[in-house]
Amino acid sequence: MRILLHRADGKTEPWIKDFAKFLPEAEIEIWHAGEKCQACDYAVVWSPPEAMLAELATVKAIFVTGAGVDALLKFGDALPAHIPIIRLEDAGMGVQMAEYVTHAVLRYFRRFDEYEAQARAGKWAPLPQYHKEDFAVGVLGMGVLGTRVLEALAPFGFPLRGWSRTDKSMPGVQTFTGADGLDTFLRGSRVLVCMLPLTPETSNIIDRTNMCKLPQGAYIVNVARGAHIAEPDLLTLIKSGHIAAATLDVLRNEPLPAQHPFWQEPRITITPHISALTLRRESVQQIAANIRKAEAGEAIAGAVDRTLGY
Protein backbone atom coordinates (compact mmCIF):
# COMPACT_ATOMS: atom_id res chain seq x y z
CA MET A 1 0.00 0.00 0.00
CA ARG A 2 1.04 3.62 -0.44
CA ILE A 3 0.50 6.45 2.05
CA LEU A 4 0.52 10.11 1.03
CA LEU A 5 2.10 12.17 3.80
CA HIS A 6 1.98 15.93 4.27
CA ARG A 7 3.55 17.93 7.09
CA ALA A 8 3.15 21.70 7.07
CA ASP A 9 6.45 22.02 8.95
CA GLY A 10 8.27 19.91 6.34
CA LYS A 11 9.57 17.51 9.01
CA THR A 12 8.60 14.25 7.36
CA GLU A 13 11.67 12.09 8.07
CA PRO A 14 10.73 11.16 11.67
CA TRP A 15 7.23 10.20 10.50
CA ILE A 16 8.68 8.06 7.72
CA LYS A 17 10.89 6.24 10.23
CA ASP A 18 7.98 5.57 12.57
CA PHE A 19 5.79 4.26 9.74
CA ALA A 20 8.67 2.00 8.70
CA LYS A 21 8.62 0.56 12.22
CA PHE A 22 4.87 0.27 12.84
CA LEU A 23 3.59 -0.26 9.29
CA PRO A 24 6.57 -1.66 7.34
CA GLU A 25 4.40 -2.92 4.50
CA ALA A 26 3.56 0.68 3.51
CA GLU A 27 5.44 2.91 1.08
CA ILE A 28 5.42 6.62 1.98
CA GLU A 29 4.90 9.28 -0.67
CA ILE A 30 5.70 12.85 0.39
CA TRP A 31 3.41 15.49 -1.07
CA HIS A 32 5.15 18.47 -2.63
CA ALA A 33 3.35 21.44 -4.18
CA GLY A 34 3.49 21.40 -7.95
CA GLU A 35 4.69 17.79 -8.20
CA LYS A 36 2.60 14.93 -9.51
CA CYS A 37 2.11 12.18 -6.90
CA GLN A 38 1.77 8.50 -7.52
CA ALA A 39 -1.64 7.05 -6.71
CA CYS A 40 -1.93 6.41 -2.96
CA ASP A 41 -4.26 4.33 -0.85
CA TYR A 42 -4.34 6.54 2.25
CA ALA A 43 -3.39 10.09 3.24
CA VAL A 44 -1.95 11.29 6.55
CA VAL A 45 -2.25 15.06 6.93
CA TRP A 46 -2.74 18.02 9.20
CA SER A 47 -4.24 21.25 7.81
CA PRO A 48 -3.49 20.36 4.16
CA PRO A 49 -3.32 23.12 1.52
CA GLU A 50 -6.06 23.46 -1.07
CA ALA A 51 -3.56 22.48 -3.75
CA MET A 52 -3.53 18.97 -2.24
CA LEU A 53 -7.25 18.34 -2.80
CA ALA A 54 -6.83 16.47 -6.09
CA GLU A 55 -4.71 13.80 -4.40
CA LEU A 56 -6.93 13.64 -1.30
CA ALA A 57 -9.99 13.04 -3.46
CA THR A 58 -8.67 9.67 -4.69
CA VAL A 59 -7.59 7.88 -1.49
CA LYS A 60 -9.50 5.27 0.51
CA ALA A 61 -9.35 7.29 3.75
CA ILE A 62 -7.77 10.44 5.15
CA PHE A 63 -6.11 10.28 8.57
CA VAL A 64 -5.78 13.57 10.45
CA THR A 65 -2.89 13.88 12.91
CA GLY A 66 -5.00 15.71 15.48
CA ALA A 67 -8.38 15.70 17.19
CA GLY A 68 -9.92 18.59 15.20
CA VAL A 69 -10.95 18.28 11.56
CA ASP A 70 -12.24 21.77 10.76
CA ALA A 71 -9.17 22.42 8.56
CA LEU A 72 -10.35 19.61 6.27
CA LEU A 73 -14.10 20.11 6.44
CA LYS A 74 -13.74 23.70 5.26
CA PHE A 75 -13.20 22.25 1.76
CA GLY A 76 -16.78 20.93 1.79
CA ASP A 77 -17.85 18.95 -1.26
CA ALA A 78 -14.37 19.20 -2.78
CA LEU A 79 -13.62 16.10 -0.70
CA PRO A 80 -15.95 13.30 -1.91
CA ALA A 81 -18.38 12.21 0.78
CA HIS A 82 -17.51 8.54 0.41
CA ILE A 83 -13.92 9.08 1.62
CA PRO A 84 -13.74 8.56 5.40
CA ILE A 85 -11.95 11.16 7.48
CA ILE A 86 -10.39 9.65 10.61
CA ARG A 87 -9.20 11.81 13.50
CA LEU A 88 -6.94 10.85 16.36
CA GLU A 89 -8.95 9.83 19.40
CA ASP A 90 -6.26 10.50 21.99
CA ALA A 91 -2.74 9.30 21.11
CA GLY A 92 -1.27 10.96 24.19
CA MET A 93 -3.19 14.22 23.88
CA GLY A 94 -5.63 13.47 26.69
CA VAL A 95 -3.09 13.53 29.51
CA GLN A 96 -1.52 16.73 28.15
CA MET A 97 -4.91 18.43 27.94
CA ALA A 98 -5.74 17.27 31.46
CA GLU A 99 -2.45 18.70 32.76
CA TYR A 100 -3.04 22.04 31.06
CA VAL A 101 -6.62 22.52 32.20
CA THR A 102 -5.96 21.29 35.73
CA HIS A 103 -3.09 23.76 36.04
CA ALA A 104 -5.29 26.62 34.82
CA VAL A 105 -8.15 25.73 37.19
CA LEU A 106 -5.88 25.39 40.23
CA ARG A 107 -4.06 28.60 39.34
CA TYR A 108 -7.32 30.52 39.48
CA PHE A 109 -8.72 28.68 42.49
CA ARG A 110 -5.58 29.30 44.54
CA ARG A 111 -5.41 32.86 43.12
CA PHE A 112 -1.86 32.34 41.89
CA ASP A 113 -2.54 34.67 38.96
CA GLU A 114 -3.19 37.47 41.46
CA TYR A 115 -0.17 36.54 43.57
CA GLU A 116 1.98 36.66 40.43
CA ALA A 117 0.79 40.22 39.75
CA GLN A 118 1.41 41.19 43.38
CA ALA A 119 4.92 39.75 43.27
CA ARG A 120 5.76 41.78 40.17
CA ALA A 121 4.60 44.87 42.05
CA GLY A 122 6.61 43.95 45.15
CA LYS A 123 3.45 43.51 47.21
CA TRP A 124 3.02 41.01 50.08
CA ALA A 125 -0.68 40.53 50.79
CA PRO A 126 -2.43 37.21 51.52
CA LEU A 127 -5.81 36.99 49.76
CA PRO A 128 -9.01 35.34 51.05
CA GLN A 129 -9.32 31.74 49.92
CA TYR A 130 -12.09 30.62 47.58
CA HIS A 131 -14.39 27.80 48.67
CA LYS A 132 -14.53 24.77 46.42
CA GLU A 133 -18.29 24.51 46.64
CA ASP A 134 -18.42 27.96 44.99
CA PHE A 135 -15.91 27.05 42.30
CA ALA A 136 -17.80 24.75 39.92
CA VAL A 137 -15.89 23.79 36.78
CA GLY A 138 -17.96 23.39 33.62
CA VAL A 139 -16.52 21.60 30.59
CA LEU A 140 -18.08 22.43 27.23
CA GLY A 141 -17.73 19.23 25.21
CA MET A 142 -17.68 15.72 26.68
CA GLY A 143 -15.82 13.85 23.98
CA VAL A 144 -12.72 11.74 24.61
CA LEU A 145 -10.59 14.72 25.65
CA GLY A 146 -13.31 16.52 27.62
CA THR A 147 -14.03 13.37 29.58
CA ARG A 148 -10.32 12.92 30.31
CA VAL A 149 -10.15 16.47 31.72
CA LEU A 150 -13.17 15.86 33.97
CA GLU A 151 -11.56 12.65 35.25
CA ALA A 152 -8.37 14.56 36.07
CA LEU A 153 -10.26 17.26 37.98
CA ALA A 154 -12.36 14.82 40.03
CA PRO A 155 -9.83 14.18 42.84
CA PHE A 156 -9.64 17.89 43.71
CA GLY A 157 -13.24 18.04 44.90
CA PHE A 158 -14.62 20.79 42.67
CA PRO A 159 -18.28 20.54 41.64
CA LEU A 160 -18.01 19.27 38.06
CA ARG A 161 -20.41 20.01 35.21
CA GLY A 162 -20.39 18.88 31.62
CA TRP A 163 -22.30 20.01 28.55
CA SER A 164 -22.68 18.09 25.31
CA ARG A 165 -24.85 18.13 22.21
CA THR A 166 -26.31 14.73 23.06
CA ASP A 167 -27.05 13.00 26.35
CA LYS A 168 -23.96 11.93 28.27
CA SER A 169 -23.55 10.60 31.78
CA MET A 170 -20.46 10.42 33.96
CA PRO A 171 -20.13 9.57 37.65
CA GLY A 172 -19.63 12.65 39.80
CA VAL A 173 -20.44 15.06 36.97
CA GLN A 174 -23.68 17.01 36.59
CA THR A 175 -24.47 16.83 32.89
CA PHE A 176 -26.47 19.11 30.59
CA THR A 177 -27.59 18.63 27.03
CA GLY A 178 -28.48 20.71 24.01
CA ALA A 179 -29.61 24.30 23.69
CA ASP A 180 -32.07 23.99 26.57
CA GLY A 181 -29.39 22.80 28.98
CA LEU A 182 -26.72 25.30 27.93
CA ASP A 183 -28.23 28.24 29.81
CA THR A 184 -28.40 26.36 33.12
CA PHE A 185 -24.93 24.92 32.56
CA LEU A 186 -23.41 28.36 32.05
CA ARG A 187 -25.16 30.00 34.99
CA GLY A 188 -23.64 27.49 37.41
CA SER A 189 -20.07 27.32 36.04
CA ARG A 190 -17.48 29.47 37.83
CA VAL A 191 -14.80 28.18 35.44
CA LEU A 192 -15.79 27.55 31.83
CA VAL A 193 -13.50 25.17 29.92
CA CYS A 194 -14.08 25.01 26.16
CA MET A 195 -13.24 21.66 24.55
CA LEU A 196 -15.75 21.67 21.71
CA PRO A 197 -15.12 20.79 18.07
CA LEU A 198 -15.42 23.83 15.82
CA THR A 199 -18.60 23.67 13.73
CA PRO A 200 -20.96 26.34 12.37
CA GLU A 201 -23.11 25.77 15.48
CA THR A 202 -20.23 26.24 17.95
CA SER A 203 -18.49 29.18 16.28
CA ASN A 204 -18.75 32.23 18.59
CA ILE A 205 -20.58 30.13 21.19
CA ILE A 206 -18.67 32.03 23.89
CA ASP A 207 -20.05 35.46 23.01
CA ARG A 208 -21.27 38.36 25.13
CA THR A 209 -24.70 36.80 25.66
CA ASN A 210 -23.36 33.49 26.92
CA MET A 211 -20.48 34.99 28.89
CA CYS A 212 -22.94 37.24 30.73
CA LYS A 213 -24.76 34.10 31.90
CA LEU A 214 -21.63 32.98 33.76
CA PRO A 215 -21.41 34.06 37.42
CA GLN A 216 -19.80 37.41 38.22
CA GLY A 217 -16.04 36.88 38.43
CA ALA A 218 -16.00 33.73 36.29
CA TYR A 219 -12.95 32.36 34.51
CA ILE A 220 -12.57 31.04 30.96
CA VAL A 221 -10.12 28.43 29.69
CA ASN A 222 -10.10 27.75 25.93
CA VAL A 223 -8.12 24.80 24.57
CA ALA A 224 -10.38 24.07 21.58
CA ARG A 225 -10.39 26.64 18.75
CA GLY A 226 -10.01 30.41 18.78
CA ALA A 227 -13.21 30.90 16.78
CA HIS A 228 -15.28 29.65 19.71
CA ILE A 229 -14.74 32.98 21.47
CA ALA A 230 -15.98 36.38 20.33
CA GLU A 231 -12.73 38.15 21.18
CA PRO A 232 -14.02 41.76 21.45
CA ASP A 233 -16.77 40.55 23.82
CA LEU A 234 -14.26 38.76 26.03
CA LEU A 235 -12.07 41.84 26.26
CA THR A 236 -15.06 44.03 27.17
CA LEU A 237 -16.27 41.68 29.89
CA ILE A 238 -12.80 41.29 31.38
CA LYS A 239 -12.41 45.05 31.57
CA SER A 240 -15.83 45.30 33.24
CA GLY A 241 -14.86 42.65 35.80
CA HIS A 242 -17.64 40.22 34.90
CA ILE A 243 -14.99 37.80 33.62
CA ALA A 244 -12.16 37.72 36.15
CA ALA A 245 -9.53 36.24 33.82
CA ALA A 246 -8.99 33.93 30.88
CA THR A 247 -6.40 31.40 29.77
CA LEU A 248 -6.28 31.03 26.00
CA ASP A 249 -4.22 28.41 24.20
CA VAL A 250 -5.99 28.97 20.88
CA LEU A 251 -6.70 32.23 19.06
CA ARG A 252 -8.49 33.21 15.86
CA ASN A 253 -5.22 34.31 14.30
CA GLU A 254 -2.13 32.30 15.13
CA PRO A 255 0.50 33.45 15.89
CA LEU A 256 -1.40 36.19 17.71
CA PRO A 257 -0.43 39.51 16.04
CA ALA A 258 1.86 41.76 18.08
CA GLN A 259 -0.69 44.59 18.02
CA HIS A 260 -3.57 42.45 19.33
CA PRO A 261 -5.08 43.99 22.50
CA PHE A 262 -4.97 40.64 24.33
CA TRP A 263 -1.23 41.11 24.78
CA GLN A 264 -1.83 44.26 26.80
CA GLU A 265 -4.48 42.74 29.08
CA PRO A 266 -2.72 41.24 32.13
CA ARG A 267 -5.75 39.16 33.08
CA ILE A 268 -5.51 37.19 29.83
CA THR A 269 -2.91 34.42 29.84
CA ILE A 270 -1.80 33.32 26.36
CA THR A 271 0.06 30.16 25.39
CA PRO A 272 1.06 29.27 21.78
CA HIS A 273 -1.31 26.37 21.04
CA ILE A 274 0.62 23.88 23.17
CA SER A 275 -2.07 22.43 25.47
CA ALA A 276 -1.92 19.06 23.66
CA LEU A 277 0.89 18.55 21.17
CA THR A 278 0.72 15.67 18.71
CA LEU A 279 2.90 12.82 19.93
CA ARG A 280 4.29 11.39 16.71
CA ARG A 281 5.00 7.81 17.74
CA GLU A 282 1.65 7.32 19.48
CA SER A 283 -0.11 8.89 16.49
CA VAL A 284 1.63 6.64 13.96
CA GLN A 285 0.82 3.56 16.05
CA GLN A 286 -2.87 4.49 16.14
CA ILE A 287 -2.99 5.30 12.41
CA ALA A 288 -1.15 2.08 11.53
CA ALA A 289 -3.61 0.02 13.56
CA ASN A 290 -6.54 1.73 11.87
CA ILE A 291 -5.10 1.23 8.39
CA ARG A 292 -4.75 -2.49 9.09
CA LYS A 293 -8.39 -2.55 10.24
CA ALA A 294 -9.44 -0.75 7.07
CA GLU A 295 -7.54 -3.25 4.93
CA ALA A 296 -9.28 -6.07 6.79
CA GLY A 297 -12.69 -4.47 6.31
CA GLU A 298 -13.14 -3.80 10.03
CA ALA A 299 -14.75 -0.74 11.65
CA ILE A 300 -12.42 2.12 12.54
CA ALA A 301 -12.73 4.31 15.63
CA GLY A 302 -12.49 8.06 15.17
CA ALA A 303 -14.45 8.31 11.93
CA VAL A 304 -15.80 11.84 11.43
CA ASP A 305 -19.50 12.50 10.85
CA ARG A 306 -19.34 15.31 8.32
CA THR A 307 -22.89 16.41 9.05
CA LEU A 308 -21.90 17.07 12.68
CA GLY A 309 -18.43 18.40 11.96
CA TYR A 310 -16.58 15.97 14.24
Catalytic residue from among 103, 111, 260, 273: 273
What whole-number distance in Å separates Cα of residue 189 and Cα of residue 213?
9
Quick one: which of 241, 190, 231 has its CA closest to 207?
Answer: 231
**What per-residue string of b and e applies to 163-176 under the rule 16 or more CB within 10 Å gives b?**
bbbeebebeebebb
Catalytic residue from among 148, 225, 228, 267: 225
- Is 273 catalytic? The answer is yes
What whole-number distance in Å separates Cα of residue 195 and Cα of residue 137?
13
Burial class from Cβ neighbours inside 10 Å (0-12, 13-18, 19+) for residue 297 reads: exposed
Active centre residues (catalytic)? 225, 273
